[in-house]
Amino acid sequence: MQRMRVDRSAPLALLIGAALLFAGVCLAEEPAHPATHEAVPTEHVATQEHAPETAAREATAQDVAPHGVTPAGHEAATGAHGGGHGTGMPHIPSALTFIEAKLPPEQAEMLNKLKDPIFSLLVALLLAVFFVSLSGKLDPRKPGRTQMAVELIFGGLYGLFTTIIGPSARRYTPFLGSLFVFIFCNNLFGMVPLGHSSTSSFANTTFALGMLTFLYVQYIALKENGIGGYLFHMAGSPKTGMEWGFSLLLFPLHVLGELIKPISLSLRLFGNIFGEDTLMATMVLLGAGIMFKITGGMALVPGIPLQLPFYFLGLLSCTIQALVFTLLATVYIALWLPHGHHAEESHGH
């Protein structure tokens, strides 16, 4: 068996380059504090001392970001994540952020609402192009590095699915493998310069993935068990008279549990990726603020890349969250397979 030769310096160089590009895009800008009419006279005097500099900076901000994008490069809270409004959470700008700055307010707001579907579609198109182009280069006798890497990933996933489901895991590997790759790439896309993790949105992405998994599992449950077996399983598979009595209590609990599963899947993925993106943006703003203080307010100065150490934590988190979502979906499928299914499948093979 041929072994893959991995150049460890290449991923490190890509990470450093991405961090520096992020810091360069985010302009050093002092965070603006909302002025109040009840300010004490001493604060008013201090504000007047810096009035010319502040006025020039505000004029520049209006020219660069008329639609809620600050010169520091982060998006204003417009409810893009989870449908909220005014959350105040910092976000690293994406490619659409700079397009929104050139559009009228109505069109910019509409584009901001479509940000998550746009990036999800972009990731799906990139994956489709990659796998279609790879399918024409497959060679079982002399596989290339890319083919070996893909076979290693999907071979490991298939072995994991087989451990949980059994030999019949081959039937469900296309869905589960696609689910893992799609979530993993969407998670990583937020760490790419001018990219965005659509999985950091509950309403637009993660809930849809949870509902898709829920519908797929229910379809498998009805197909493998039939309507009678499906209801029997929901009642707790009672056998004795006492168990049939308790089934009146277990049935609504099992129904409630099935309805909660897609929500729990969605919230787990959303919370971790949203928190990761917020942490990255906070470190970018902190580095930009420190450099702003050091340089005395010079514009177009790259900030200190304080987010660089968190890139490694982000890579680990992106992988773990995609794997957890996929493994839970695998377990849900295995729970609905008929008893003795694994044994029958193993004897059949």
Torsion from C-alpha of 205, 207, 210, 214, nearest 10 degrees: -130
Average pLDDT over residues 291-316: 82
Residue with tokens 């087989």: 162
The overall average pLDDT reported for the chain is 77
- The answer to whether residue 20 scores a pLDDT higher than 80 is no
pLDDT above 90 coverage of the chain, percent: 51
- The answer to whether residue 35 scores a pLDDT higher than 50 is no
- The answer to whether residue 300 scores a pLDDT higher than 80 is no
Would you kindly state where each structural domain of the chain is located, as residue ranges?
43-113, 133-341+345-349
Q: What does each C-alpha distance from 89 to 46, 80, 94, 248 come to in angstroms? A: 28, 11, 15, 46
- The two three-digit tokens of residue 108, written as one number: 């910019």
Q: What does each C-alpha distance from 335 to 123, 168, 201, 330, 339 come to in angstroms? A: 31, 13, 29, 9, 9
What per-residue confidence (pLDDT) applies to 299?
64
At 146-193, the pLDDT tens digits run 999 999 999 999 999 999 999 899 999 999 999 999 999 999 999 998
Closest CA to 341 of 164, 110, 195: 164
pLDDT above 70 coverage of the chain, percent: 70
CA distance 103 to 1: 55
- The answer to whether residue 60 scores a pLDDT higher than 60 is no
- The answer to whether residue 48 scores a pLDDT higher than 70 is no
Q: What is the pTM of this model?
A: 0.72
Closest CA to 324 of 208, 209, 189: 209
At 238-276, the pLDDT tens digits run 888 888 888 888 899 999 999 999 999 999 999 999 999
Question: How many Cβ atoms are within 10 Å of 38's Cβ, its own excluded?
Answer: 6
How many residues are there in the chain? 349
Average pLDDT over residues 130-145: 88
As a whole number of Å, the CA-based R_g of the chain is 26
